[in-house]
Chain A
């Protein structure tokens, strides 16, 4: 009986870390009422060294405008493969984009940073309009953007 119990404890210990490697996270991005057309937004992550790690969402579906999301474009070359299946409509002034996704636990408290590049037609581009380190402490804290993003927050 003791052997069975020990085996169960051991295998449970091995199993749990795998199960706990993802968590649902909601990203909320609210735009200012800047008085222009819908904004293109690239929401992506860099690692502790500042290297691009991946894109979470692209708001805006026309590839020809992506070069105006300068930091994201520099990192990806505008490669559509980076955003296939995670691309939606641009976001109008004053509106709020809410994205819920299962994120890897390893992204939190490990030096990763969430960034938003923004661009609006006939207005100045805003690379890295807002960024926030992905940490447990920052969860739920709204961070102000520089130009088009009024606030960015993530909840776990």
Chain B
């Protein structure tokens, strides 16, 4: 009887150890959706949005205004309209843990390869 009880206790501990993190991840995913629902359903655009004045503004200032991360320093402070709603740049991968949005079960950062 003692053996049975000991096994039950041990296996329950294992089940809880594995089950709670997994359940927690699922719960976060559901929570994320619910939170977004409060903000409004995402309406996916079916049509292209013209990039209004994008080129003109980009061309009107100096040369360090690049989307690409290929060597250009575009941390400019110019008033070209791009930065009106600028917020803080996100933390690069590997510097902090991924967001707890329920998608990343293990909490590990994605592995990325660029070919």
Interface of chain A, main secondary structure: mixed
* Partner pick for B103 among A53, A68, A89, CB 8 A cutoff: A53
Is B60 part of the contact surface with A, judged by Cβ < 8 Å? no
* Partner pick for A62 among B32, B42, B55, B89, CB 8 A cutoff: B89
B108, chain A: closest CB distance, angstroms:
6
The answer on a CB contact under 8 Å between B103 and A125 is no
The answer on a CB contact under 8 Å between B99 and A128 is no
The answer on a CB contact under 8 Å between B51 and A124 is yes
Is A145 part of the contact surface with B, judged by Cβ < 8 Å? no
Interface size class of A (residues with CB under 8 A): 35 or more
* Partner pick for A87 among B7, B42, B82, B92, CB 8 A cutoff: B92
Is A144 part of the contact surface with B, judged by Cβ < 8 Å? no
The answer on a CB contact under 8 Å between A70 and B3 is no
The answer on a CB contact under 8 Å between A53 and B33 is yes
Q: Which residues of A contact B (CB under 8 A)?
A: 3-4, 7-8, 11-12, 14-15, 17-19, 21-22, 37-40, 45-47, 49-58, 60-65, 67-68, 70-71, 74-75, 78-92, 95-104, 106-107, 115, 119-128, 131, 147
